[in-house]
């Protein structure tokens, strides 16, 4: 059982957020690190799911739709965290809190807002 969820950030998440999350000891992979830049949201979520990583995004509308689509067809993902485009320090703080509060199993297949 994996205790802490690993993160996968889409292209909208600032590098400073990634740096701050890594400084908190979180395992964070970016779309650039993964060679997935310019891929569709659907491809991003599929990649995150295959890597067992929770996707972090600002893109609420598209990922809500993808989450519902996954649920309807019985497909699973490792979680989606949607955050507003706030100050990078605030985003890192909120994401850090949620990932230190919930286990990877509790985040699995969930759409969360921070």
Tokens of 47: 């990649």
Q: Residues 36-70: pLDDT tens digits?
A: 999 999 999 999 999 999 999 999 999 999 999 99
CA atoms within 13 A of residue 53's CA, in its CB half-sphere? 22
What burial class does residue 90 get, using C-beta atoms within 10 Å of its C-beta: 0-12 exposed, 13-18 middle, 19+ buried?
Answer: middle
Q: What CATH code is assigned to 6-113?
A: 3.40.50
Q: Are 52 and 78 within 8 A, CB to CB?
A: yes
Mean per-residue pLDDT of the chain: 96
pLDDT higher than 80, residue 2: no
Q: Is the pLDDT of residue 34 over 80?
A: yes
- Give the pLDDT score at 105: 95
Helix axis angle, 15-23 relative to 88-101, nearest 10°?
40
pLDDT at 55: 98
Alpha-carbon gap, residue 63 to 96, rounded angstroms: 20
CB atoms within 10 A of CB 63: 22
Q: Is residue 1 predicted with pLDDT exceeding 70?
A: no
Domain ranges of the chain: 6-113
């Amino acid at each position: 059982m994996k205790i802490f969820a690993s993160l996968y950030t889409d292209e909208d998440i600032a590098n400073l957020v990634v740096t701050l999350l890594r400084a908190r000891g979180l395992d964070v992979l970016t779309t650039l690190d993964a060679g997935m830049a310019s891929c569709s949201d659907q491809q991003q979520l599929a990649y995150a799911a295959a890597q067992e990583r929770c996707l972090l995004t600002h893109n609420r509308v598209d990922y809500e739709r993808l989450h519902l689509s996954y649920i309807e067809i019985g497909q699973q993902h490792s979680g989606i965290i949607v955050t507003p485009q706030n100050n990078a320090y605030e985003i890192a703080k909120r994401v850090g809190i949620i990932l230190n509060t919930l286990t990877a199993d509790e985040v699995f297949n969930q759409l969360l807002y921070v």
